[in-house]
Structure 1
Amino acid sequence: MKFLAPLALAATLATPALADLTEMTDAERDAFRAEVRAYLLDNPEVLMEAIAVLEERQANAEVERDQMAVAANADALFNSAFDWVGGNPDGDVTIVEFFDYRCGYCRRVAPEVDALIEFDGNIRYVAKEFPILGDQSLLASQFAIATRVALGDDAYETMSDALITMRGDMTEAALIALAEENGLPSQEIVAALDDPLVASTIAYNRDLAGRLSITGTPTFVFGDQLVRGAIGVDDMQRIVELIRAEAN
């Protein structure tokens, strides 16, 4: 049997009418494998190219899955009454953030988000309480949501901003002190901790995160794109510009 160059042979084998490995004798099959192995050892860049193509395909498939998941859950993401909305409520681009107050990356990215909102002026921001780092994270989210239930959106923003920069353990005593330091009546907040809306908000966001395969914080949704992990304001601006360009 006369052997083709390995890559040409691989292409030929993809066409059933031309060749089939199962039709080779054992000796022909061994010779074919030896020739392919020798070619790849002599040209290892071919493997790197193939791996790069595979990784690109996998990344594109993940992006497509994320976009489909975002589309399927758009109302829960962008229009849930459970969530506080900041920035420009009528902004042309909505950014959703799943965050945890004890997450170091969330703390790091918070000033970047604030800078984008302030610089752009046309960003609608949706805050998704998503405590995943233990009991103190859960208590902090409960306290923030209870603040909104008891005192409204402005008080929630004050409490949330204070929590994302808070140092030390997030115990109930520490959270009460933090509220008082920021001029918020802690007794009303503590009384609202048992409001069913507090638990419902967290359960709703956890269920939504599961449907979107979100397991870490921060995770952002920019338009129809899921962005996992902390990114800087420059990258945020580029994503927003692309969203606007696609809309026009």
Structure 2
Amino acid sequence: MMLRFAAPIVAAALALPATAMDLTELTNAERAQFRAEVRAYLMENPEVIMEAVDALRAKEANAQAQADVDLVSVNADAIFDDGYSWVGGNPDGDITLVEFLDYRCGYCKKAHDEVAKLLETDGNIRLIVKEFPILGDQSVLASRFAVAVKQVAGGDSYKAMNDALMAFRGDVTLASLRRMASTFGLDMDAIEAVMDSDAVTQEIAETRALAQRLQITGTPTFVMKDELLRGYLPYEQMQALLDEKRG
């Protein structure tokens, strides 16, 4: 990598014939001279290496950002209007924030409070939650429970369970879920009856397929307007990004 970035700089200073600047055409003596000049230059100017690395990273980040914009555009209907994901916040908000989450994810739990604060202070955000259990059987069980609650008891009960599951710190078991449902006065028998249903399975499977198309491999992952935000973001950074999208 050092030769890749430093060679154009060093080559300009080398006293080699113009026809020999194709490295494949250098003689052994010219190649040795070139290598010695590159090494000497880098030893005298080591900051060039970091400058080149930073430039490469910036180029790759820009390419990834554009690729993400394209992925969001191609999958917009499934992201913003799938017909089954819970929609909260302000349904008529001027910007939509989509979150892929796992109830066993520590950063999802941390982000949950940040998103709640964002919705409370902003008031003009449409929030979509997508169940994306990737951290084992307890994650899957929690998501099946949450989706079943939504299908059986509706959106308000789903929101209550979403909050409760994010605040929960113990093992996710049927017993713990029954206690949770009882606390909120939900009919756990009815919920359990659909937790393993095809409808619940399909919803989670479709979200998994969407995540795969978006190249999402971790949680939390957000979609804000046309941008994929991979990983936890603090409140201040999310608000700044919202302001930027609106601007």
TM-score by length of 2: 0.92
Superposition deviation, residue 158 in structure 1: 1.1
* Distance (Å, rounded) in 1 between the aligned partners of 2:34 and 2:234: 51
- The number of residues matched between the two structures is 238
Tell me how large the CA RMSD over aligned residues is: 1.8
Q: Do 1:131 and 1:137's aligned partners in 2 also have CA atoms closer than 8 Å? A: yes
* Corresponding residue number in structure 2 for 1:99: 101
TM-score by length of 1: 0.91
Q: Do 2:10 and 2:37's aligned partners in 1 also have CA atoms closer than 8 Å? A: no
SS in 2 for 1:89: coil
What pairs up with 1:73-112 in 2 under 5 angstroms? 73-112=75-114
* Distance (Å, rounded) in 2 between the aligned partners of 1:124 and 1:152: 18
Shift in CA distance, 11/97, structure 1 to aligned 2, threshold 3 Å: farther
Superposition deviation, residue 233 in structure 1: 1.1
* Corresponding residue number in structure 2 for 1:178: 180
* Distance (Å, rounded) in 1 between the aligned partners of 2:197 and 2:12: 65
Superposition deviation, residue 232 in structure 1: 1.2
* Corresponding residue number in structure 2 for 1:51: 53
SS in 1 for 2:149: helix
Shift in CA distance, 154/57, structure 1 to aligned 2, threshold 3 Å: same
SS in 2 for 1:90: coil
Which residue of 229, 237, 240 corresponds with 1:238?
Answer: 240
Post-superposition Cα deviations, 1:49-106, rounded to whole Å, max 9, x if no partner, equal 1111001001111111111111111110000112000001111110000000111111
Q: Which runs of 5+ in 2 are unaligned?
A: 1-6
Superposition deviation, residue 48 in structure 1: 0.9
* Corresponding residue number in structure 1 for 2:225: 223
* Distance (Å, rounded) in 1 between the aligned partners of 2:227 and 2:171: 34
What pairs up with 1:195-214 in 2 under 5 angstroms? 195-214=197-216
* Corresponding residue number in structure 2 for 1:122: 124
SS in 2 for 1:125: strand
Q: Which runs of 5+ in 1 are unaligned?
A: none
* Distance (Å, rounded) in 1 between the aligned partners of 2:161 and 2:190: 13
Superposition deviation, residue 155 in structure 1: 1.1
* Distance (Å, rounded) in 1 between the aligned partners of 2:61 and 2:209: 24
* Distance (Å, rounded) in 1 between the aligned partners of 2:207 and 2:238: 23
Superposition deviation, residue 133 in structure 1: 0.7
* Corresponding residue number in structure 2 for 1:61: 63
Superposition deviation, residue 6 in structure 1: 6.6
Superposition deviation, residue 190 in structure 1: 1.1
SS in 2 for 1:128: strand
* Distance (Å, rounded) in 1 between the aligned partners of 2:92 and 2:19: 60
> Identity of aligned pairs, percent?
53
Matched, 1:36 2:38: yes
Superposition deviation, residue 168 in structure 1: 1.0
